[in-house]
Amino acid sequence: MAKVIMYTTPTCGYCKLAKAFFHEHNVQFEEKDVTVDMAAREEFMKTGERGVPVIMVDDQKVVGFDKEKLISLLGL
């Protein structure tokens, strides 16, 4: 299974959709809240993005909740 990391904020609606999608498909993921975790915020800034969610599937970056791309990358 792919390693999945998702950079989030507590108020992000698309983050909530992505989390629900992962739970529905039994995808293990690591959530990193960039509002409280300064190390995660630094990692997030290195992605070059400024909005969340940013989801890393192994070394592939998914910006926003792109369901079709996630299905493809995760082999669902």
Q: What is the pLDDT of residues 35-72, one digit of tens each?
A: 999 999 999 999 999 999 999 999 999 999 999 999 99
Q: Whole-prediction pTM value?
A: 0.94
Q: What is the pLDDT of residue 74?
A: 97
The range of the structural domain enclosing residue 53 comes to 4-74
DSSP conformation class of 32:
E
| Contact between 6 and 73 (Cβ < 8 Å) | no
Average pLDDT score over the chain: 96
Number of domains in the chain: 1
Q: Which residues of 34-63 are buried (b: 16+ CB within 10 A; e: fewer)?
A: beeeeebeebbeeeeeeebbbbbbeeeebe
Q: What is the pLDDT of residue 1?
A: 79
Q: What percent of the chain has pLDDT over 70?
A: 100
CATH of the domain at 12: 3.40.30.10
Q: What residues form DSSP beta bridges with 60?
A: 57
